[in-house]
Structure 1
Amino acid sequence: MLKKLKKLLHWTSNSKPEYDISPKIYEELKPFRLPIILIILVFLFGTLGYVAIDNVDVFTAFYETGITFTTVGYGEMYPMSDNARIFSIFLIIVGFMVFTLAVGVVIDVIQKGNLLTLLKERRMLYKIARLKKHYVVCYHTKFTIELTNEFKKAHIPFVVVSPEEDLEDIAKKYNYPFFIQAEPHTDIAMKKAHLSSAKGL
């Protein structure tokens, strides 16, 4: 049954793309490293601070650090000393600075839009990698619109490769299930289109 389904969907057992964009995704994720490291350090510093000041257990100190860092306002988890309250004020200030930095990084990454674009492309590449005996259609033109319509009628899989920036919108309009935004006839574009398992170009 599974083999018949794979044959119907023109899927291969090897679903790994020929062109790996993971390094680009990791590069876009690099800005998140500093906020994550700072958050871990704040929790470590806060936990050790409460343990040292009021001699509470590690879990209570960690929990107190969490509600202080996030300023959720649950109140004190145990009767604090004055030194612990002063430490909490300092922790709130540091936590606010780290939180502001983290929000700034997230907003900057979202505004650039590169990460979301790469994640969408990665998902598309894995879908294309499952195809076999498909056709790679170069450029979006009136001729290729007619050609892909015939492919769809005959249930023949195809991948459209075209450099238009709004190719995603074009694909939705003309019902292209698989597409790559790139200049055709380049090695990278053909690897993304999985030409090695294609039936024709």
Structure 2
Amino acid sequence: MIPSKKVVLALSLLIGLVAIGTTGYMFIEGYGFIDALYMAVITLGTVGYREVEPLSDPGKVFTIFLIIAGIGSVAYGVTQAVEYVISTIVFQRRRMERNIARLSNHIIICGYGRIGQQVASRLRARGAEFVIIEQDEQVMETLDTLGYLYVNGNATDDNSLKRARLDEANTIVVTLPTNADNVYVTLSARNLRPDIRIVARASDGPSATKLQQAGADKVISPYEIGGRYIANAVLRPHVVNFMDVVNASHDIAARSMEIEELEVTEHCSYAQQALKDTNIRSELNIIVLAIRTPDGEFEYNPAPTTLLVPGSMLICIGYASNLDRLARLLGVSA
């Protein structure tokens, strides 16, 4: 019998005893309904309040049996309720562990603070798979409510990184509150997975340098980015407004405009074609802003005669639905 049915059985037994007790006091002692219900409840609850009226001998015998039955039923009910709660927690934890165990090529977010929240929200909007490492109990309640996968642990602990399947991840995002912890996690992640991409948060210039030395591929300073954004909003308001449109959430609608990076795969129909011979601009209404060649060089505003070599990365701007179509044509996931 599953725990929920046991809880229902315990509640039904308790309600049945209250009904029996109420009926018994009405029949044996001649009480009214309210007085009989009151007697049944205080007897089953063994709270020791005084009787409505002195009990007759048959009423006393009935009360003895009701108390015995009440103690047993209440104990059973409490036991089943506790078992149900514990079983539910264990079941949810095991289900989450199974879901984490199935992750591959995913993203690990270390810390669910203000930066981590924004990262997780954007990743979910794009349908990316990720797991969060967090140790704050209140934060974990929020993660449960949101349905996020998470590991209960300290990101500076190698075991927590391993439980988040660092060996199968493609990127780790380090957004812990302190620079020292971010440097430590970066060092640990780089040591455990030399080939993983690491994006780390820094609060100042010196910390950014230390994170790069520790092995971070990309260091982000929220304060620097925020200051730059404000300055651009003052000096180039129309550019900022346009970028706000481009950076709108992917789930707003298919009409949302985005900048996307898409790889040219070896077996796609565009491989080894000149840019002008594709339908990227004419039919999909997508502009190729730049091409990153396999050797890592960027070609900005590529010429129409530029060949799309397998392994190249196209930096494109267009509507989300059209970018998804292009991704399918290139043989990659959107």
TM-score (norm 1): 0.52
Distance 1:78 1:168 in 2: 59
Aligned-partner SS, 1:39: helix
Q: CA deviation at 1:96?
A: 0.4
Identity of matched residues, %: 22
Q: Which has the larger radius of gyration?
A: 2
- Which consecutive unaligned segments of at least 5 residues does structure 2 have? 97-104, 151-249, 253-319, 325-333
- Amino acid in the other structure paired with 1:96: I
Aligned to 2:28: 53
- Amino acid in the other structure paired with 2:5: K
Aligned to 1:35: 10
- Map Cα deviations across residues 105-153 of structure 1 (whole Å, 9 max, x no partner): 02212322438949xx9xxxxxxxxxxxxxxxx73337x99xx959938
Is residue 128 of structure 2 the alignment partner of residue 152 of structure 1? Answer: no
Aligned-partner SS, 1:141: strand
| Over 2 Å off, 4+ runs | 27-31, 110-118, 138-142, 148-153, 155-162, 166-173, 175-182, 196-201
The answer to whether the 8 Å contact 1:43/1:62 transfers is yes
- Amino acid in the other structure paired with 2:39: E
Q: Which has the higher contact order (CA 8 A, sep 6+)?
A: 1
Distance 1:49 1:151 in 2: 59
Task: Indicate how the Cα distance of structure 1 residues 101 and 150 shifts in structure 2: closer, same or farther if over 3 A, else same.
Answer: closer
- Amino acid in the other structure paired with 1:181: L
Distance 1:150 1:100 in 2: 45
The answer to whether the 8 Å contact 1:54/1:81 transfers is yes
Distance 1:180 1:149 in 2: 16
Distance 1:35 1:65 in 2: 17
- Which consecutive unaligned segments of at least 5 residues does structure 1 have? 1-26, 122-137, 183-195
How many positions carry a matched residue from both structures? 137
- Greater strand share, structure number: 2
The answer to whether the 8 Å contact 1:109/1:115 transfers is no
Q: CA deviation at 1:28?
A: 5.6
Distance 2:116 2:46 in 1: 60
- Greater helix share, structure number: 1
The answer to whether the 8 Å contact 1:161/1:179 transfers is no
